[in-house]
Every structure is written in structure tokens, then in C-alpha cells.
Structure 1
Amino acid sequence: MSERAESGRTDGLITLAAADALWVELTTGSDVPTASGALTRSPACAGTGYVLLGSRVVTTARGSVPEAEVRRAAAVLNAVAVDRRDLVRVGPFHAAPGPEREEGTPLRWRRRIAEEPGGPEAVRDAHHLAGIDWRQLLVDQTRDGTRHTWWLPRAVVRLLDAAEHAEAVRTRRTSAAVTEQTRAADRRADPAGPVRPYNKELEGQLYSALSRKPGTARKVAGWACAVCRTAPATVLDHCHEHGYVRAPVCQSCNTQERPDHLYDNDIRVANRYTRLFESAADAWLHHWHRCTGCRARTTLPLPHLAAWTAHTACRPLRPTHPTAGGREPCGVLRVSWTGNQNTPRSCLLTVSVDFCPAGEHRVLAQVAYREAADRFRTWLAETAPTVAAAAGPSRLETLPTRFRPVVADTSGGDLELF
């Protein structure tokens, strides 16, 4: 790590121009080449209140930026080792591009590279990405003498993915804060009467049908959140696997249980899962099992089951490192899966640790879906016996008479119903 990234005065604000110069100076000699104008040239826009430097989000205010944050971002970037032989294809792709992994992020680095018209020459004229001069690392390979493919080192791809994810997290938090402030102002301007508790009025109903009914939003606003039971409900939570309504919840609870997706089949298991599976596990398990399908199968939706497997079932496998107060878990937990819950024989969960000194993306365990589900049922009976007692295939009498149409699965008993 560069010594320049750790020395110097770090207790004040500096101008964007000074931060540009500091960024280039601190990252000189890094494996990842950086660009000048990282804070002042597109796609950076300091007017939004932040800029991206490497994998970090750096806050800006009135044309200034904290010097300490620039130095921290440079230190993180300098620690990245790049193997220029380990490449990942980033475009162009003949198929129509799918939805962005993080739709709420202005960075969208894959789209900026892969969809640039005019071929590699036009791409090389594009600006930096998160302060990284990716043009120096772009490899243009030719297939059949005519078809061009563009490649970047895997370490740089991970770095840009991390930047896009960090930007998406900040965007969601800012949006949620603004929404909550607006609602609070509305409540002060037009105070409503007391909200009533939710008593299973919507149990067993399909979200796809209920959400289209006129007046549903107004009806939801009349209930208290079914999880925290204090804030007014704002959204109608439902199971994305089975389609059944769970209960009306507030924005805070709805955001808290939302999986932290990196990709469609890959999530980051953050510290908030401590509340979901430990301190408030009984309330959340009861809420998730309001879905008729999850309750009958005694399981959780696949992203939640995968997160539980990483956070709880594989906890003894997670490496630790010494700190002043003892030993703490190392790195960031991550879990991905192949297949889905409708094909349990081929569905495999992979638990790994990112940013671990023992080896980045170190795989801790691979657990079959059925094994994970069996472990969860055992844990559920010990952790929330009342929830477990109300679950299981013997509770099918509560299912609605008309099921949600799905593709039948003949690989396991009783799973074809869901």
C-alpha cells in the first residue's frame, strides 16, 4: 500500500480540483491506473452530493470534498492487485442487453463500455469510470478476423462492480430517507386517525390480483405495520416465490428484509441479518410464514434461505481475525446459488467470504438446497417452536381453492404444488 495514501493532513475539506490532483498523486504506481479529472469529469457529478473513487463513495459538499475520504479511497485502490492475464469479457454482446444489475446507479459501467457505438475506437474516447482509467486495461481481441471482443482484468471488474453496488446502496438509502421525510410532512399536515392492527385479513390472497384492485393502497395505509406494529403500513409485502400476500408493512421493515443482491443469484449477507435471524428472529419468521406456500413447505424464499445458510448454518466455518477486543469475523459474507427452488436436486448454494486476508472470494461451503432446507427446519423448531408448529404439509387446509399456476416439479414429493 502506498505510504502517500496514509500520510498528510486529513482533517479538512479540499476543492475538487485539489482532490483530482491528490487522487492522481496518491495512486501513482498502483496496479489500477487512475485518470485525471476523477471528481470533475463525466460521469462524476459532484452536484449529486457524492463521487465514486475506486470502490468507495466519497461525499461532496459545495464544491469541496473531505481529504481523508480521498486518501482512504486511494489506500483501498492501491491494495488491489491486478493480474492482466486473468480477463473477463465485457462486450460487445450480440443479444439484447438485459436489465442492469443496479438500475438505480448512474455508473452502469457495463452499459457504458458494451453499448458504446462505433467500436473499440469510440470506447477508448470515453471518460473514466469511478476514477479508474480503464482504457489502459481494455483488451481488444479479434475472432474470425472480424468480430471484436473487449476484455478487462477480473480484479478491475470486481472493483467496478463494488463501486456500482456502493452507489446503489447510497441511492436507495437517500431515496428512502426522502420518502420518509415526505410522509412525515404529510402526516403533520393532515394527521390521520389511529391505525388498526393487522389481523390476517389478507391471508391466502394473491398479490398479483390484490395489487390491481382499486383502493388497495388506501386500505393498506389504514393498518399498522405487521412486523414492528408501531409505524403505519405503507406497502403490501408479498412472497416473490409463491405470490401470496404476507402482510402490510412499513417502509423501514420492507427495506430491512430486502435481500442485498449483487446479481440475480448472488447476495451479500450484511450485518442486518443479525436482526433478521437472531435478535428479532421470531417476529420475522412469523412474518415470512404468513405466505401460505412457505408455511406449507416449512421453508423460506430462496434468497432468504441462502442468507440464513450463510449467516447461521455456516457460521462455524467463517474465518476470524484478532482485534483489540478479541477475534472478529473476517471479510464480508456472500452466498450465490445455481438453479432454483423448483428444481431442488440441482440447486446448490455456495457460501464464500469477500475481502478476506486469507484469500479473496474464499469458498467456505457448498450446500445442496434440500440439505439447507432440512437444516432450516431443525433450526426453526428450536428457535421459533410456535412458527414451526403451524407449518408443514399437514397445514394445507389453509390453502386457497385456486392455486397460482406454476410449472410442475416431479423431482420431489409434494413440491409440485408450489
Structure 2
Amino acid sequence: MTERVVPGRAEGLITADAADALWVGLTVGGAVPTVSGAFTRSPARARTGYVLLGSRVVATARVGGGRWGVAEREVRRAAAELNAVVMDRRDLVRVGPFRGVPVPVPEPERDEETPLRWRWRVAGELGEPGGPGRGARHEDGRPCHLAGIDWRRLLVEHTPDGTRRTWWLPRAVVRLLDAAEHAETRWLRAARISETGTAVAEPPSRPRRAGDADGRGEATSPEGPAASPRPYGRELEGQLYSVLSRKPGISQKVAEWVCAVCGGAPAAVLDHCHEHGYVRAPVCQSCNTRERPDHLYSNDVRVANRYTRLFHTDADDWLRHWHRCTGCRARTTLPLPHLAAWTAFIACRSLRPTHRAPRGRQPCGVLRVSWTGSQNAPRSCLFTVTVDFCPAGEHRVLARVPYREAAERFRGWLSETAPAVAAASGPDRLDGLPAQPRPVVVDPGGEGLGLF
């Protein structure tokens, strides 16, 4: 492929059309599919001063003759970052629609100037035929791309009851698009500051022209004066979510951190333990959905594939995160739904039937675990582990495990899997946050048992 460098202009600038072709050519072998028209198709417009390529903001500049261009090296840099993304197409995140949330109506005439807001765009485009989705298409009828990504090739649609649709995207792509939104927000914030003369970045509405300022014709840098998210340092540990979430400005404060689990994406929400009420840490949207239990009913959890990472590949990170809750750490346990899932997935692994497969034997059916009673009265709480859709029986019961037995098994497994997390747990431990012995809460079951 030949890249067209605009003659007579600064070295390294190519036109938007050439950048479109270069982007597709560089990313053709990547895990994330891309589209042509990343610079010239809605919602990207070179004349707005920047475009999004994957999670990177790439600035544009005038190259003469009414044409717009971009630095070739920035396109290559964005393509290299996208090609480095590893994607598991089976690890999905639901992106809509959600109950009670209306499908937005995009404004076609302003579409080219609207920030990414990718969930809003997906919901708008996937609306009913003839409905709001019409506003999310390019003028030639083609669907909009998202940051140069052909998201429709990755979209998975579920219709469990034959009528209601749900839409899902691979987790890696969700993280990528969340990072793109964050990068664009930082860019726009820097642009607003620059209008007051306190920053050096050019605003998107008035992009720098080739040859301006220093005479080299360089496109503006996407790195504005806004500070990068900082690593989380346990600043919120030991605080109650019900109190902290009501403080003004807490959402802006959360956005100042990097996700405390993956350490790569900017934090978007404040994760907390629903069982004890303590704040865990700021996390990104992707990690927040990964640890969310897949409830069938209020006392029933389906053990989805994501638990493979929660309890195997990334177990150390997730166990440390869960034990940021003062209550879980003091009791050396997990919230009830997670402990139930761990019991089915780990403690009862040897009981799960297998069946023949082309590459050996594979676990059969789908794991499900339900419980009766409450963790607040441990003697009455019982887990029932079942395999659904097993050829040997539609609902085959594998085991019934008392809560206390499950908790003891978890403590033993924790000490082997994550010794550092286990060493910091227990009612006799002090963490400094808070720097006091943990309180003892009387068991509401009436037996006077200390929960933690």
C-alpha cells in the first residue's frame, strides 16, 4: 500500500483519505476489526480538530486546498496500540438495553460534533427499525463506527425469551471504548482551558494549521494539561459507601484514579461490598461488571465463564480487591454470592460430571448454586450446587454445603492461592485503615455470634 504524503507540506503529514487507507492496512491482522473512513465517516470529522483511533486521540491539521491531514506517525502509533489488544470473544459485557432506560434519539444534524458516548450511539443505532436508530447512520446509509472500530462485527445479540433483545460486546472492546471516551474527555477539557490562555493545546474547534506556531506543521498533541489518572493508594479504605457516595464531587474524585483492579483503564465507579457496606476501591466499568454475580433469582447464582478468571487467572488481584472491604477481610470470607460461586466452581470441582469432547473430556452442563437462610445466621445457611442441562438429568444436584463449611474451605484455599491476602485477613489483624480493631457485630440470629 502506498501512503500519499501531501507535497510541499511538513514531512509526515498525510491527507485524511490516505490516513483512512493506512489505518485499515495497519490493523488488518489485529484481533479488533476496523473500518475504512475512520477520519471521514461519522462520527469522526477531521475538521473538528481530532479523531479517535482506538483509545488514542489523534489531532488533525489543515494541509491546504481545503483538505485536512494528520501525522502519519500518530496513525501508526494508534494502530500498534490497537493491534496489541488481546480479545476473548466469549468474555462478553452487556451493553444494553437496560430496563427502565429509554433508547436515546440522536440528532443527525449534530452527529458529527457529538462526543463519542459509545453506549448512547450503540443504543441509538440498534433501536427498532424506523425508530431512533435512524439518526445513528452515516448519510450514505452505512452504520457509524466507534473510534475506527467495526463494532457490529463483534456485537452479540441474545433473545432469551424470543422477544426481548439484549446486546453484548467483548470485554476488551468495552474497555477500549471506555478508554477512548476518557481520552476524548481529557482532550476537550484541555481545549476549554486553552481558550483561557492557560494551556498549550489547541481547542478542537480551532485546530492548529500546518506551519503555525513553531513552523514545523505538527498536529497538536493529544496530551493536554489535564493530569493523568493516578494509581489508587487505599485512600478510601474503611469508609462506608452510604456516607461517601453522598459527598459532593465524589464522582469527579473517582475519575482521578486508575482502576484499582486492572490498573489500565480510568476508574468510573466506586465499587463497594453490598454485604457489609464498605467501599472497596474505584474501578473501571469493565471490572465492575466482571465481578457482578449473575443472579437468576435473589438467592440463586449462575456460575458464568468469568469466574475462571476471578478464581484462576486473575485470582490474586480479585481476592485482594474483595478483601479491601473491612468486613470481608475481618471474616476472611467473600460476599455471599461470590462465596457461593466459589463453592460451586472450586470446592465442588471434582463432583462435576464430564463428557467426551474432541480434545478430551469437558465439564458438563452449566453450574448453578442457590442458598437458603442467611450468612447472618451461618448455622442456617446452606448452599445447593446444581448442574443445569446435564444429559444425566435436567437439574442434577452435586452437593449441599453448609455456609460454615464453605467458609472454612475458602480460608484454606485462600492461604494457598493468595498467601499475602490471607495473612492480612482475620479478626485479630490491624491494617491501619482504619487504625483500630475491627468492630464486632452481634449476629441478628440471636445466638450472640460475632460476625467480624
SS at match of 2:383: strand
Kindly tell me: are residues 405 and 314 of structure 1, through their superposed partners in 2, closer, same or farther at Cα, counting changes over 3 Å? Answer: closer
1:359 to 357, 379, 393: 393
Q: Secondary structure at the match of 1:222?
A: coil
Structure 2 spans left out of the alignment, 5+ residues: 1-102, 104-123, 129-140, 142-156, 190-223
Q: The residue matched to 2:281 in structure 1 has which SS? A: strand
- 1:122-141 aligned at under 5 Å gives the runs 130=162
Residue in 2 aligned with 1:81? Answer: none
Match of 1:228 in 2: 262
Distance, in Å, in 2 between the alignment partners of 1:171 and 1:229 is 21
**Structure-2 separation of matches of 1:342 and 1:396:** 23
Contact 1:243 1:404 in 2 (8 A): no
Which residue number corresponds to residue 281 of structure 2?
247
Q: Secondary structure at the match of 2:415?
A: helix
Q: How does 1:156-171 map to 2 (within 5 A)?
A: 167=165, 170=168
Cα gap change, 1:302 to 1:295, in 2 (>3 Å): same
Q: Is the 8 A contact 2:280 2:322 kept in 1?
A: yes
Contact 2:254 2:269 in 1 (8 A): yes
Change (3 A) 1:275 1:323: same
Distance 2:181 2:442 in 1: 39
Q: Could you say which residue in structure 1 is the equivalent of 2:424?
A: 390
Which of 281, 284, 302 in structure 1 is aligned with 2:336?
Answer: 302
- 1-side partners of 2:362 and 2:342: how far apart? 19
1:256 aligns with 2:299: no
Answer whether contact 2:261 2:287 (CA < 8 A) is retained: yes
C-alpha separation between the residues in 2 aligned to 1:195 and 1:395? 31
The alpha-carbon deviation at position 169 of structure 1 amounts to 6.9
Determine the structure 1 residue equivalent to 2:248. Answer: 214
1:284-315 per-residue CA deviation (whole Å, 9 max, x = no partner) reads 00010000000000000000000100111101
Determine the C-alpha separation between the residues in 2 that align with 1:248 and 1:281.
18
Shift in alpha-carbon separation, 1:394–1:409, aligned structure 2, 3 A: farther
Contact 2:320 2:421 in 1 (8 A): yes
Read off the aligned partner of 1:315 and give its amino acid letter.
Answer: R
Shift of 1:176: 8.8
- Structure 1 residue aligned with 2:409, among 358, 366, 375? 375
1:318–1:184: structure 2 CA closer, same or farther, 3 Å change rule?
Answer: farther
Question: 1:356: Cα distance to partner?
Answer: 1.3
Q: Residue 229 of structure 1: CA displacement?
A: 1.1
**After superposition, where does 1:344-355 map in structure 2 within 5 Å?**
344-355=378-389
Superposed displacement of residue 189, structure 1: 3.5
Amino acid paired to 1:130: G
- Name the residue aligned to 1:186: 185
Q: 5+ unaligned residues in a row in structure 1: which ranges?
A: 1-44, 52-61, 63-72, 74-104, 108-128, 132-163
Distance in structure 2 (CA, Å) of the matches to 1:328 and 1:171 = 26
Q: Which amino acid letter does the alignment assign opposite residue 411 of structure 1? A: E
* One of 196, 204, 208 as aligned partner of 2:238: 204
Shift of 1:413: 3.6
Alpha-carbon distance between aligned partners in 2 of 1:316 and 1:272, rounded to the nearest angstrom: 19
Amino acid at match of 2:236: L
Matched with 1:195 is: 229
**TM-score w.r.t. length of structure 2:** 0.53
Residue 130 of structure 1: how far off its partner (Å):
2.4
- CA–CA distance in 2 between the matches of 1:183 and 1:366? 46
Q: Aligned partners of 1:322 and 1:397: how far apart in 2?
A: 49
User: CA offsets per residue over residues 235-288 of structure 1, 9 Å max, x none?
Assistant: 101000110000111111111101011111111101110100011101100010
Q: Which AA in structure 2 matches 1:330? A: C
How far 1:195 sits from its partner (Å)?
1.1
The structure with the largest helix share of the pair is 1
Distance 1:178 1:195, change over 3 A: closer
Equivalent runs, 1:14-413 vs 2, <5 Å: 49=126, 130=162, 167=165, 170=168, 182-183=181-182, 185-190=184-189, 192-395=226-429, 408-411=444-447, 413=449
Aligned to 1:57: none
Cα distance between partner residues in 1 of 2:228 and 2:348: 44
Query: Offset at 1:230?
Result: 1.4
Give the deviation of 1:183 after TM superposition. Answer: 4.4
Give the conservation status (yes or no) of the 8 Å contact 1:227–1:253. yes
For the Cα contact (< 8 Å) 2:366–2:388, is it kept in 1?
yes
Distance in 2 between the 1:217 and 1:315 partners? 40
